[in-house]
Every structure is written in C-alpha cells, then in structure tokens.
C-alpha cells in the first residue's frame, strides 16, 4: 500500500547507503540493522538508491532487491523515496514501477548523465517522466555527478507539473538554493530538501523543509536534533549541533574532497559500530586499516545511538 507523501515533507530524510557483501550482493541483515538504526534515531524518511546508495554502480538485480527489502522493512513507519536516475528512460520507468509495487511513496530522478542536454529538453524529460510514474517525482540537482545543473527557471516550470513534488539540491551552492526558494514562494507544497551535511542548518533556517544528510546514516539523532533546532529557530542549539556535524564530517570523511564521495567513510563508520560491512561497489575501495583507525578514534568519543546533550543551548 502506498500512503500519501506528506506535503511538504519535513525533516531529515536519510540518503541511505546500500549495505553490500564482499561479492557485491545486497547484505539483507545489514540493511535491516541500518533501517532500525535510522528509524530508532528519529529520521523522518529514507531515500534509497541515490548517490550515497551507490545506485549507478549497482546491477539492476541489487537495485530491485534494495527497493523490495527497504519498503518491507520500513513498512508504514517512515516514507521511502526511491532513486530512479538512469541513462535509460525505460529503466527509470521500470524502477519507478518497482518502487510503486513495493509501497514506496515517491521517486527521485536526476538528469540522465553522459549526453549533453539543454534545459528545454531536461524540462520535457522530467515532465514526461512525471506523467509516466505512478507516485510523486522529486527532481535531484546533482551537477557534480550528472554534469547537468537544473536552472532556477527549469525548476519553477517543473513545479507547475502536477506530479513533480519537490527538489533535492546537492549543488553545494547556497546562492542557487535561495534563488530557487524565493522563486517558489507561490508553491508552498513544493518540497525543498538540501543534500550536504554541513548545509542542513543554514537551509532550514532560511526556509528549506529539511535535508538528506548522508551523515545521518551513522548518527541519525545528531542530524535530527540539528534539524529540529533549526526548524525551531534555536540559534544557540544550531551553533552547537552544527559544530558537532562539522567534527563528525572531518573525522569520518577524512579527505578535503569528501563532498564528492563520502561513501567510504560512512561505510567504515557503520562497520565499526556493527551495522554492516565496509564493502563498496567498484571502482571505490574501503578505507585502509590506518584510515579505519582514525575513524575509530573519533567514534570512541561519541555515542551515535543517542541524542547529543547540549548544556546552555536553549533558544
């Protein structure tokens, strides 16, 4: 059964990793532990098969298994959003049908990568895609990965389509995000979610509905607390929690270019806290023993299963 997606959808919708075995197949037990960890940490939804979910590197058999298992395990406790980005329009349609059959509440699509496409053609593509999928479609602006940016006017015109319900922005450009937000003031039900961990607080304080912070895979309660503080306008709480997010990112992702691909750090941390293994899809490789030791030193000093305690951080 596909329940109706909240409109707008607010909170932390975790862009989930895909637990894998060393042979590249889905680790079902790891996925179950991850989902319970996330829901127990208070997240407001799950976004599977996005960039953090390694979708472009996974065979379709694994993608379909992820859809079925996630929807079954989550049940009706939180909304499940399914990434359907693909270079093939037909495969995107087929993945959307699988998502609907499994009980997902929406699908998410970035521009098809590889070929150059102008904005008019992208708008036509998304409008056509939205008309063919049986559940709401979110746009995914991920120019670092797709080499296409959804221009502000394209997003505005897409918001007029009856089945296009929101945007996840991973452009790392807050100027762009705020222009989109201002331009969509006449579309209050159109969902605006930001991608990167370190932009969650700023985006929510200035009008975003929430975020898909990848770091919430590991420490969901931290990112939920940050969202709640920002949504409440608790600036002292935001400052303290945002600092903890920055410390988490630096300790887990290690390198300065983590924003391009945080997967190895996330899976390393999840393996160290007993959620799933650290296997990643090729061409990526897991962290080395030395890198794992650095992440472990950080994790030994925090409790990722608890909500951070903030003294003197009341609004």
When computed from its CA atoms, the radius of gyration of the chain, rounded to whole angstroms, is 18
Please, which residues have CB within 8 angstroms of residue 142's CB and are 6 or more apart in sequence?
51, 110, 168, 170, 171, 195
In a domain, 311, yes or no: no
The question of whether 267 is a catalytic residue gets the answer: no
Report angle CA 113, 116, 122 to the nearest 5 degrees.
Answer: 75
In a domain, 65, yes or no: yes
Catalytic residue from among 100, 140, 176, 287: 140
How far is 34 from 189, CA to CA, in rounded Å? 30
Provide the residue range defining the domain that includes 189.
Answer: 11-234
Residue 311 has pLDDT above 80, yes or no: no
Q: For the chain, what is the domain count?
A: 1
How far is 150 from 167, CA to CA, in rounded Å? 10
In a domain, 265, yes or no: no
In a domain, 296, yes or no: no
Enclosing H/E stretch for 37: helix 28-40
In a domain, 183, yes or no: yes
Phi, psi of 197 (to 5 degrees): -50, -50
In a domain, 252, yes or no: no
The question of whether 140 is a catalytic residue gets the answer: yes
Please, which residues have CB within 8 angstroms of residue 31's CB and are 6 or more apart in sequence?
18, 19, 66, 69, 70, 73, 276
Q: What is the pTM of this model?
A: 0.94
| Token pair listed for 313 | 């951080």
In a domain, 273, yes or no: no
In a domain, 180, yes or no: yes
Catalytic residue from among 100, 168, 227, 287: 168
| Token pair listed for 24 | 């590249």
Highest mean pLDDT among 108-112, 144-148, 282-286, 305-309: 108-112
pLDDT in tens, 106-144: 999 999 999 999 999 999 999 999 999 999 999 999 988
Report angle CA 308, 312, 315 to the nearest 5 degrees.
Answer: 95
Closest CA to 16 of 59, 74, 61, 60: 74
CATH code for the domain in which residue 120 is found: 3.20.20.70
pLDDT in tens, 51-99: 999 999 999 999 999 999 999 999 999 999 999 999 999 999 999 999 9
How far is 299 from 248, CA to CA, in rounded Å? 9
């Amino acid at each position: 059964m596909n329940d109706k997606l909240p409109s707008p959808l607010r909170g932390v919708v975790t862009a989930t990793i895909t637990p894998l075995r060393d042979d590249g197949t889905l680790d079902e037990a790891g996925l179950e532990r991850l989902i319970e960890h996330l829901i127990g940490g208070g997240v407001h939804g799950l976004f599977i098969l996005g960039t953090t979910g390694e979708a472009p590197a996974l065979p379709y058999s694994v993608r379909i298994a992820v859809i079925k298992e996630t929807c079954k395990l989550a049940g009706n406790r939180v909304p499940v959003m399914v990434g359907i980005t693909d270079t093939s329009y037909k495969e995107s349609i087929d993945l959307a049908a699988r998502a609907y059959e499994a009980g997902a509440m929406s699908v998410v699509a970035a521009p098809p990568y590889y070929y150059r496409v102008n904005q008019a053609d992208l708008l036509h593509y998304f409008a056509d895609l939205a008309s063919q999928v049986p559940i709401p479609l979110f746009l995914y602006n991920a120019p670092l990965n797709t080499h296409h940016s959804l221009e502000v006017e394209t997003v505005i015109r897409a918001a007029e389509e009856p089945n296009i319900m929101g945007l996840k922005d991973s452009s790392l450009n807050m100027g762009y995000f705020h222009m989109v937000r201002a331009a969509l003031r006449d579309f209050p039900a159109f969902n605006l979610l930001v991608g990167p961990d370190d932009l969650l607080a700023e985006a929510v304080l200035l009008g975003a509905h929430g975020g898909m912070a990848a770091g919430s895979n590991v420490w969901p309660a931290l990112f939920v607390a940050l969202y709640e503080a920002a949504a409440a306008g608790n600036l002292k709480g935001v400052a303290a929690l945002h600092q903890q997010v920055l410390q988490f990112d630096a300790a887990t992702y290690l390198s300065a270019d983590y924003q391009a691909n945080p997967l190895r750090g996330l899976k390393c941390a999840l393996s160290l806290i007993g959620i799933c293994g650290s296997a990643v899809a090729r061409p990526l490789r897991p962290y080395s023993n030395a890198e794992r030791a650095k992440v472990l030193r950080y994790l030994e000093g925090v409790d990722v299963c608890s909500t951070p305690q903030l003294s003197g951080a009341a609004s």
